[in-house]
C-alpha cells in the first residue's frame, strides 16, 4: 500500500503539461462528515447535542470498519464538521468550537477538521463558488428551441426538460402556437422520470446569494480535493489558531483541530446527516453530474488510487456516499 504524506506536509506541484502546473494534495481513503447543524440547532441543550453525535458515532465506526476491509490495512480516515455561518452568523468560534468538541468527545466522536460554509462561497482572494460555476456544463435538452435562458443567466439547473418547454416544430411564441401541456422529463429516466430543478443562486440587493445545495456541491468537491485556483489547491487546512477568534470571518476556511489527523481531502466522501437534508443532497448530485472538473486534477487522483490498488469510480459524483438518519 502506498503511504500518504501528513496533511500538513509541504505542497507538491505536479507538472502535467508544459503550460500547466497542478498542486497535489495528500489524500485519505475516506472523509466522513459528522452531520450538519443549522445555526438555530445550536440552541439545543448539551444532552441533545451529545445524543446527536452519539448516533453519528455508530455510523463512523461502521464506516471505518468497512474502509479497512476495502484497503486491507489501516485506512486513512478523517472526520470533518461544517459550521453554517453563511446564511447568518451566530455565536463565534471562541464559544462554539470548544462546546462542539467537548460534546462530540462525550459521545466518543472526534472532529479532525472544522470548515466554514461561507468559505465555500469566498475566503480571502479565493472564490470557490465562482470556480465551480465556471465549470458548469448543463445537459443539452433534445429539441431545445432556445427559449430557456442559460444557467449563467437564470441561476437554475435541472436534470431534464422542464414542463411546457416542448413546442410544435416550426412554431414559436411570435406565431402564438404552442402544443398542449407536456410534463417534465428526466434526461436519463429509468422508465419514469424523477425531475429535479435546482436553484443555484438568487440576486438580492445587487448581491449574489448562493443556495445551500450549490454550496454543498462546492463542499463535496473541496473534500474530494478536486478544486484548483490557477493550479493552487483550494481549502488547504490551516493549523488551529493559538487563541480562537470571536468572529467566524477570522477563522480559516478549514481548520485542523486534531494534530496528526489523516488528510482532510479523500478519494471518497461519506456524509452522515438526518433525513431533512435528503432533498439538498439530491440536488447536489444533479449539480455535480453537470460539473466538468479539471481533467489534470482528476487524472492525478485516479492514478494515485490505482497505485494504491483502489477501485475508484471515474465520475466524481459516484465517489460520494451517504447515511441518512432519523431525527
For residue 154, what are the CA distances in angstroms to 18, 210, 211, 287? 37, 13, 13, 15
Q: Is the pTM of this model over 0.85?
A: yes
Over 80: is that where the pLDDT of 94 sits? yes
Q: What is the pLDDT of residue 180?
A: 76
Of 26, 89, 60, nearest in space to 263 by CA:
26
**pLDDT recorded at residue 78:** 98
Show me where the domains of the chain are located: 20-121+214-276+299-325
Residues 118 and 133: their CA atoms lie apart, in Å, by 16
- What pLDDT score was predicted for residue 171? 47
- Average pLDDT estimate for 53-73: 90
Per-residue pLDDT at 178 exceeds 80: no
Q: Buried b vs exposed e over 44-59: b needs ≥16 C-beta within 10 Å?
A: eeeeebbebbebbbeb
In the chain, % of residues over pLDDT 90: 71
**Which parts of 92-150 fold into alpha helices (H)?**
93-106, 118-121, 128-133
Give the span between the Cα atoms of 83 and 36, in whole angstroms. 8
Q: What pLDDT digit, counting tens, does each position of 211-240 carry?
A: 999 999 999 999 999 999 999 999 999 999
Map grid coordinates 414559436 to a residue: 172
Of the given ranges (106-110, 151-155, 301-305), which has the lowest mean pLDDT?
151-155
Q: What is the pLDDT of residue 79?
A: 98
- pLDDT (tens digit per residue) in 261-290: 999 999 999 999 999 999 999 999 999 999
What is the grid cell recorded at 129? 463558488
Angle between helices 278-288 and 212-223 in degrees, nearest 10:
60
- The pLDDT confidence band at residue 11, using thresholds 50, 70 and 90, is low
Amino acid at each position: 500500500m502506498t503511504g500518504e504524506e501528513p496533511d500538513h506536509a509541504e505542497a507538491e506541484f505536479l507538472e502535467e503539461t508544459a503550460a500547466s502546473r497542478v498542486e497535489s494534495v495528500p489524500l485519505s481513503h475516506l472523509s466522513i462528515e459528522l452531520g450538519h447543524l443549522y445555526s438555530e440547532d445550536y440552541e439545543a441543550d448539551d444532552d441533545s447535542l451529545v445524543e446527536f453525535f452519539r448516533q453519528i458515532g455508530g455510523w463512523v465506526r461502521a464506516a471505518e470498519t468497512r474502509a479497512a476491509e476495502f484497503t486491507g490495512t489501516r485506512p486513512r480516515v478523517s472526520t470533518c464538521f461544517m459550521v453554517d455561518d453563511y446564511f447568518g452568523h451566530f455565536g463565534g468560534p471562541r464559544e462554539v468550537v470548544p462546546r462542539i468538541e467537548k460534546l462530540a468527545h462525550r459521545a466518543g466522536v472526534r472532529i479532525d477538521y472544522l470548515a466554514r460554509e461561507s468559505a465555500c462561497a469566498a475566503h480571502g482572494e479565493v472564490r470557490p463558488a465562482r470556480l465551480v460555476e465556471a465549470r458548469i456544463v448543463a445537459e443539452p435538452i433534445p429539441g431545445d428551441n432556445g427559449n430557456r435562458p442559460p444557467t449563467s443567466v437564470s441561476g437554475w439547473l435541472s436534470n431534464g426538460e422542464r414542463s411546457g418547454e416542448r413546442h410544435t416544430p416550426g412554431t414559436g411564441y411570435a406565431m402564438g402556437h404552442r402544443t398542449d401541456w407536456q410534463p417534465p422529463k428526466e434526461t436519463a429516466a429509468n422508465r419514469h422520470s424523477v425531475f429535479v430543478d435546482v436553484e443555484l443562486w438568487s440576486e438580492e440587493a445587487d448581491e449574489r446569494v448562493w443556495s445551500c445545495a450549490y454550496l454543498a456541491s462546492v463542499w463535496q468537491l473541496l473534500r474530494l480535493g478536486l478544486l484548483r485556483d490557477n493550479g493552487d489547491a483550494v481549502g488547504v487546512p490551516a493549523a488551529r489558531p493559538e487563541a480562537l477568534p470571536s468572529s467566524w470571518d477570522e477563522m480559516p476556511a478549514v481548520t485542523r483541530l486534531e494534530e496528526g489527523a489523516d488528510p482532510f481531502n479523500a478519494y471518497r466522501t461519506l456524509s452522515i446527516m438526518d433525513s431533512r437534508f435528503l432533498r439538498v443532497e439530491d440536488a447536489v448530485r444533479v449539480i455535480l453530474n453537470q460539473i466538468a472538473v479539471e481533467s489534470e486534477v482528476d487524472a492525478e487522483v485516479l492514478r494515485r488510487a490505482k497505485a494504491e490498488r483502489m477501485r475508484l469510480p471515474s465520475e466524481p459524483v459516484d465517489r460520494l456516499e451517504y447515511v441518512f438518519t432519523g431525527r
